[in-house]
Amino acid sequence: MTDAAPNYSTDCENLSLAPYQAFLKSGQTISLPEPRKPSVSIIIPLRNSPEYSLNGLQSLAHSGSEYFQTIVVVEEGYLQKHPELEYRVRGVRFRRVERIGSFAQAWNSGAEWALAPSLLFIKDDAQLLDGSLAAVEKDFSSHLEVGAVGGMLIDDEGSLIEAGGLLFKSGYCRSFGRGWNPDDFPVQYQREVAYCSAAALLVRQDLFQELGGFSSSYSDEYYEDVDLCLRIAEAGNTIVYNPEFRVRRSLEYRYGWEHCAKLLEANRATFAQTHQSALASLPAADAFLGEVFFEKASGKRILWVEDAPPFSHMGAGFPRTRAMLDALIELGHSVTLLPTFWTTSDFEDLYKDTPREVEVALGVGNAGFLDFWKSREDGYDAVIVSRPNNLKALGPVIFESKRMRPDLTVIYDAEAVFANREINENRLRGTPLPPRE
């Protein structure tokens, strides 16, 4: 919802205009699927120049999915001005309206034509990256309590715009991770969040209808998505950030920053008044000054220090680590896994064997542990240290925190009883250990 930095750039227009003009000259068409029973209905209001929507529709055409319905909400005058959208794009249902006064109104109007059990609301400058549609659909099929799913929003230069949103008692919001590298480990794990932007937001249709859709209380744009997510949570459902749901955006503003700031503040005031009682229990705006991890955690926050992520091909106790991670997640706990030996990897490969809900602190290792621990130690309820080498290297730092924080639980975990190995090794060498030792 909230975009904390200006501004509208004509460079973005120029980048998008060239492929659009090339498309018009080529005579080609864009074909989208028209399934009888779609799994997702995608609803897109057209409010910007057509070159942005063309990029978005092309990304859908190459999504690899055949089970989505595409509904484009558009003003009559817009289609008259850009008729090529109708005769060059196939498989789209155009929901004509006299005027689009707000995104909320347009999305609600498009939802009336939706045939699928899931609704994907996106803005017309959003492009779904490879594999995103398939990744986000599985959240609803495997987690019944999930009410909405948002993704990783990235700008045209490859910088992060949002990895889930933070909401505070004042009604102010913060897009987490803005300006970061999308490959930073704190934005690579799936977690429950306060809200996700409707620049790309998947919502269960039954829940959307039950709640009455987007509220009409918000002018133009901003806060209609935060309002919906808060009502979804109040109805007993979760809002999930899924890093595999990746979306590139070309525009964050249709106006100059001054206009946007006024609109944001006006809609924030409406939101704060509407949800006064719910906001009272939320943290203040300075509650999350640095890295945010598991801000909506219901169980324990656990740091697990281990040699490597639990790659199934490695053996050496790592399949056991995977089983224990699964158990902790199933019990409702939140886990950061910090590998000390294996500090680099491809996240796609890493999460084949590690639950996506686990934050994997790649790149920290032994060398970076002290800085990592200083920035986070007050946030963890428990630390699990696996294997004697990690206990020896990092134990002194952790136990010093335990001395200052008696409530911090520290657990030593061993895949095997190493003392028995040492006893047998010495016996085989002919230098058996004394009975007392």
The pLDDT tens digits of the residues spanning 136-191 come to: 877 666 666 899 999 999 998 899 999 999 999 999 999 999 999 999 999 999 99
C-alpha span between 22 and 316 (Å, rounded): 56
Domains of the chain with bracketed CATH: 10-279 (3.90.550.10), 301-420 (3.40.50)
The pLDDT tens digits of the residues spanning 191-210 come to: 999 999 999 999 999 999 99
The DSSP code for 378 is: G
Res 3: pLDDT:
44
C-alpha span between 291 and 294 (Å, rounded): 10
The pLDDT tens digits of the residues spanning 41-62 come to: 999 999 888 888 888 898 898 8
Q: At what angle do helices 224-234 and 257-274 cross, to 10 degrees?
A: 30
Res 140: pLDDT:
67
Higher pLDDT, 320 or 224: 224
In the chain, the amino acid numbered 367 is A
The pLDDT tens digits of the residues spanning 227-238 come to: 999 999 999 999
Per-residue pLDDT at 11 exceeds 80: no
% the chain with pLDDT above 70: 91
Q: Is the pTM of this model over 0.85?
A: yes
Q: What is the radius of gyration, based on Cα positions, of the chain?
A: 25
Higher pLDDT, 400 or 259: 400
Res 409: pLDDT:
98
